Homo-oligomer: A and B are copies of this chain.
Amino acid sequence: MNALLEKLTSGDVRSAARLIRMIDDNQPAAWDALKQLFPHTRRARVIGVTGPPGAGKSTLTSCLIESARQRSMSVGVLAVDPSSPMSGGAILGDRIRMNRHTLDEEVFIRSLASRGHFGGITPATRGAIRVLDAMGKDVIIVETVGVGQDEVDIARLADTTVIVWVPGLGDDIQAMKAGILEVADIFVVNKAEHPDTEATSNYLRSVFKQEKNTSGIPRDWMPPVVETVATKSKGIDDLWDVLDRHREYTAGASDYFVSRKRKACRVELENFVHQGLSEKFSTRFAANGLLDEQAALITSGEADIYAVAERLLAEIR
């Protein structure tokens, strides 16, 4: 393992790929490796790119890779695909547009499954970010298909969270307001050749003016709205300008920013502990077939899920 970590921290692609695979498979040795990598991390700039399906996130990510390379920054990309906890299956999206970067050695692209009962993209993704960081990547882009929870998860991991929106999306923006308010650092309105672009951009700007601040610490960063046409590489320089402004802002470590970061970190710490606990007890109950037996009784209506859950919890305590 030490040899692997040594190669990894000097930038070796195959070691990085191997460790990410170990993390994705949830191997106990990976957990130890991640702890050992700690001194080599916290250098990369982590950019989260999230938004609803069809918003053009992959194309935008591809544009960001290209301009980062033009600025001589090395790039790591993690594409987090939703997968089904029912089968534990993972799919690696065929990210055609990203393929043109695969011959560039300074660009490292990996797909990760978003496994786990809780749909949490956090634990494996955080591990993979740490690996790319320790490898020496300057910029790490984490792309997720997100609505609601996923956006919040990505915001915990990223230094800057970019929400990719498109003109004319329906009522749901209303329902998603609270989540977006708290996690968005930058809005991109992609496909900005659409006639509804201006109205959508204005709406996004207005949302923050109406925000009720419950944290007690005044907001000192208003998420800017950048309009892009990723398929034509339009607006990407504007996006970098805003990304750089946000980086300067975070470097200033304002009270607002630090308090948000701490809150996010606390939630993630809880997630880690819960995951550890859950794995322990799942293993225990799964071993004796108890869960399958009870699930069959609940399905047939012979037992009540609330009563069964209570009994299992009582057994643990």
Binding site for B on A (CB under 8 A): 31, 34-35, 38, 42, 52-58, 81-87, 89-91, 93-96, 114, 117-120, 126, 145-150, 152-153, 168-179, 181-183, 214-215, 258, 261-274, 276-278, 280-282, 285, 291-292, 294-296, 298-299, 301, 304-310, 312-313, 316-317
Say yes or no: B170 contacts A53, CB within 8 Å: yes
Say yes or no: B271 contacts A214, CB within 8 Å: no
Chain B residue nearest to A83 (CB atoms) is: B178
A301 contact from B42, B84, B146, Cβ within 8 A: B42
Chain B residue nearest to A53 (CB atoms) is: B172
Say yes or no: A119 contacts B53, CB within 8 Å: no
A174 contact from B93, B175, B307, Cβ within 8 A: B93
Say yes or no: A306 contacts B86, CB within 8 Å: no
Chain B residues within 8 Å of A54, by CB: 52, 168-172
Say yes or no: A90 contacts B178, CB within 8 Å: yes
Instruction: Give Cα A95–Cα B126 distance, bound, in whole angstroms.
Output: 36
Say yes or no: B145 contacts A146, CB within 8 Å: no
* A155 → chain B closest CB, angstroms: 8
Say yes or no: B179 contacts A82, CB within 8 Å: yes
Say yes or no: B176 contacts A82, CB within 8 Å: yes
Question: Which among A86, A145, A313 has the greatest number of chain B C-beta atoms within 10 A?
Answer: A86
Say yes or no: A267 contacts B35, CB within 8 Å: no
* A158 → chain B closest CB, angstroms: 14
Instruction: Give Cα A301–Cα B41 distance, bound, in whole angstroms.
Output: 10
Sampled A-B contacts (23; CB under 8 Å): A35-B310, A38-B306, A53-B170, A54-B168, A54-B172, A56-B170, A86-B152, A86-B263, A89-B178, A118-B118, A118-B271, A119-B119, A119-B149, A145-B148, A148-B150, A149-B149, A262-B296, A263-B295, A268-B305, A272-B306, A274-B277, A277-B313, A280-B317
Instruction: Give Cα A5–Cα B282 distance, bound, in whole angstroms.
Output: 34
Say yes or no: B53 contacts A117, CB within 8 Å: no
A145 contact from B176, B183, B215, Cβ within 8 A: B176
A276 contact from B117, B170, B285, B313, Cβ within 8 A: B313
Chain B residue nearest to A97 (CB atoms) is: B171
Say yes or no: B35 contacts A306, CB within 8 Å: yes
Instruction: Give Cα A126–Cα B309 distance, bound, in whole angstroms.
Output: 14
A183 contact from B86, B271, B277, Cβ within 8 A: B86
Chain B residues within 8 Å of A270, by CB: 117, 278, 282, 285, 291
A52 contact from B147, B173, B175, B265, Cβ within 8 A: B147
* A39 → chain B closest CB, angstroms: 9
Instruction: Give Cα A317–Cα B279 distance, bound, in whole angstroms.
Output: 13
Chain B residues within 8 Å of A170, by CB: 53-56
* A188 → chain B closest CB, angstroms: 15
Instruction: Give Cα A52–Cα B146 distance, bound, in whole angstroms.
Output: 9
Chain B residues within 8 Å of A52, by CB: 52-54, 147
